[in-house]
């Protein structure tokens, strides 16, 4: 039967969410007499948490949490937020998740710890009717790695604002804006961009470059150059829920919003998180030896803004691009590239359905990460199993409760029926049905290309060449 109307699809999706499982294992068919909450510790020293409702619907959701900095609290988590957690338990879902054994770029801990948590759940409560891996941000990378590497363990997967471009692509794309900022705003500073000895050295570099950027923001020429750096990371003009959306041609307001995101990038990901990732990889996993920055700008989603700001500042964009071309480049440590690729780059090879959802105004993991994963899935022949949906909203992982629940139910509908029902109208109808008090902002959207893709489905990605510059 072909499903046509959003209202009908929303009703059908809700029916999937609440239908009782046809059969659970005999030992657990009656379910618990009261809600069960379990916390414990894995052999890896990671902690785990499990929640089983009285009327378990037979589906277990294994949640992967986002990046946690070195030294930050690291509790086990089984949902992206308390409202979502409460609603899913009320609807009969079992929720589980681990802390991962370490913080930081912990992909090598996260994957086995998530699997170990699932094993414990199955031993204690019996096999689930459906097992779904889901996660947000860095947890979207963990989820996708689980889906690709262990398809026999899952019926489907859901990535929310996920780092689905993979590790090598992420660190390359993070290098480009800071390289541009140092070259154009602090050319004689000697600020180190890679190869940090420790977190203290990384913080010092971040603070020094942030100071240069803050000074540059005071002049038209400096603002144009910051916009150029933002364009090399595809930072959107509207990227913070606290901001008012700039007009489509209000370049000053767009740049002001991007400036805040650039400062955030310097303070969050480009230095201290890089240092932690490099320590795991045994060196620097990123390079720009073969990068044509003029070509990257041509493909950027905010190229027109940069062009106009340069013109208004009376500054030559061609000259600045030539300066970037001549600047000494940064080469990777081959062993660090190999390790990062092996542990945290993706193949795009899916054997079960995966739904990816991303906000359009994400500055931390730009929405173009979805283009990178679609590229990998296309090369691997998995596009029929992949759907990507977009929420028109600023910020990183700023989904409403209704939008999140809509994604969960849409994926389970695909698992149960074999049909995708992920048009914006359908998802918005379902989101409104799930939570009428929160916004439903799914929209027709197609992101531009990811500027520095790297995946395991394209052998050519694994080669980079040293370019002599003078």
Which pair of tokens denotes residue 15?
């029916």
Q: Is residue 213 assigned to a domain?
A: yes
Domain shared by 173 and 158, yes or no: no
Same domain (yes/no): 106, 233: no
Question: What HEC string does 216-241 produce?
Answer: HCCCHHHHHHHHHHHHCCCCCCCCCC
Same domain membership, residue 178 and residue 160? no
Query: Can you give the pTM of this predicted structure?
Result: 0.93
pLDDT in tens, 218-242: 999 999 999 999 999 999 999 999 9
Q: Is residue 95 part of a domain?
A: yes
Considering the domain boundaries, does residue 112 fall inside one? yes
Domain boundary among 340, 357, 382: 340
Question: Residue 462 — very low, low, confident or very high, per pLDDT cuts 50/70/90?
Answer: confident
Decide if 115 is inside a domain: yes
Residue 33 pLDDT: 80
- Consecutive H or E run containing 418: none
CA dihedral 239, 241, 247, 253 (to 10 degrees): -70
pLDDT digits (tens, 9 = 90+) for 70-88: 989 999 999 999 999 999 9
- Does any domain span residue 1? no
Domain shared by 326 and 360, yes or no: no
Percent of the chain with pLDDT strictly greater than 90: 91
Residue 361 in this model has a pLDDT that exceeds 60: yes
3-state secondary structure of 390: strand
Residues 273-314 pLDDT 10s: 999 999 999 999 999 999 999 999 999 999 999 999 999 999
Pairing label, strands 386-394, 354-361: parallel
Would you say residue 469 has pLDDT above 70? no
Number of domains in the chain: 2
Question: Which domain CATH number covers 111?
Answer: 3.40.50.1820
* pLDDT above 70 for 26: no
Q: How many CA atoms lie within 13 A of 88 on its CB side?
A: 29
Under the banding of pLDDT at 50, 70 and 90, the label for residue 178 is very high
Characterize 138-177 residue by residue with b for buried, 16 or more Cβ atoms within 10 angstroms of its Cβ, and e for exposed.
Answer: bbbbbbbbbbbeebebbbbbbbbbbbbbbbbbbbbbbbbb
* 14-18, 111-115, 330-334, 426-430: segment of lowest average pLDDT: 14-18
Both 261 and 364 in a single domain? Answer: no
Please provide residue 289's backbone torsions phi and psi, each rounded to the nearest 5 degrees. -65, -25
160 plus 276 within the same structural domain: no
Range of the domain at 416: 6-166+346-459
């Amino acid at each position: 039967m072909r499903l046509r109307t959003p209202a009908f699809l929303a009703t059908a999706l809700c029916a999937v969410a609440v239908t009782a499982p046809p059969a659970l294992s005999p030992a657990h068919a009656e379910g618990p007499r009261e809600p069960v909450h379990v916390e414990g510790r894995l052999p890896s020293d990671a902690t785990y948490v499990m929640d089983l409702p009285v009327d378990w619907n037979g589906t277990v959701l294994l949640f992967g949490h986002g990046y946690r900095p070195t030294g930050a609290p690291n509790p086990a988590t089984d949902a992206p937020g308390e409202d979502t957690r409460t609603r899913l338990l009320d609807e009969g879902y079992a929720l589980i998740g681990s802390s991962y054994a370490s913080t930081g770029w912990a992909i090598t801990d996260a994957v086995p710890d998530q699997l170990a948590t699932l094993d414990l759940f199955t031993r204690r409560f019996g096999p689930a009717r459906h097992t779904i891996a889901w996660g947000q941000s860095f947890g979207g990378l963990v989820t996708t790695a689980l889906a690709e590497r262990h398809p026999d363990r899952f019926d489907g997967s859901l990535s929310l604002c996920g780092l689905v471009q993979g590790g090598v692509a992420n660190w390359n794309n993070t290098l480009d804006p800071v390289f541009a900022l140092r070259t154009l705003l602090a050319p004689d500073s000697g600020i180190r961009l890679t190869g940090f000895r420790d977190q203290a050295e990384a913080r010092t570099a971040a603070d020094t470059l942030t100071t240069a950027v803050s000074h540059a923001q005071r002049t038209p020429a400096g603002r144009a150059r910051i916009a150029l750096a933002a364009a090399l990371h595809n930072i959107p003009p509207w990227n913070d829920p606290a901001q008012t959306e700039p007009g489509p041609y209000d370049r000053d307001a767009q740049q002001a919003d991007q400036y805040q995101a650039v400062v955030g990038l310097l303070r969050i990901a480009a230095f201290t998180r890089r240092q932690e990732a490099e320590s795991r990889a045994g060196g620097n996993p990123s390079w720009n030896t073969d990068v044509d920055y003029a070509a990257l700008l041509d493909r950027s989603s905010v190229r027109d803004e940069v062009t106009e700001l340069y013109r208004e500042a009376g500054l030559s964009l061609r000259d600045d691009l030539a300066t970037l071309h001549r600047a000494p480049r940064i080469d990777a440590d081959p062993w660090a590239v190999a390790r990062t690729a092996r542990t945290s780059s993706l193949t795009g090879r899916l054997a079960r359905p995966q739904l990816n959802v991303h906000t359009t105004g994400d500055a931390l993991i730009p929405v173009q990460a979805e283009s990178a994963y679609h590229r990998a899935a296309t090369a691997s022949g998995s596009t029929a199993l992949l759907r990507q949906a977009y929420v028109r909203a600023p910020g990183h992982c700023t989904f409403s409760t209704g939008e999140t629940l809509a994604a969960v139910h849409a994926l389970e509908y695909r698992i149960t029926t074999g049909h995708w029902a992920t048009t914006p109208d359908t998802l918005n109808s379902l989101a409104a049905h799930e939570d009428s008090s929160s916004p439903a902002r799914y929209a027709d959207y197609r992101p531009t290309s990811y500027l520095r893709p790297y995946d395991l489905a394209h052998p050519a990605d694994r080669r980079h060449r040293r370019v002599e510059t003078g």
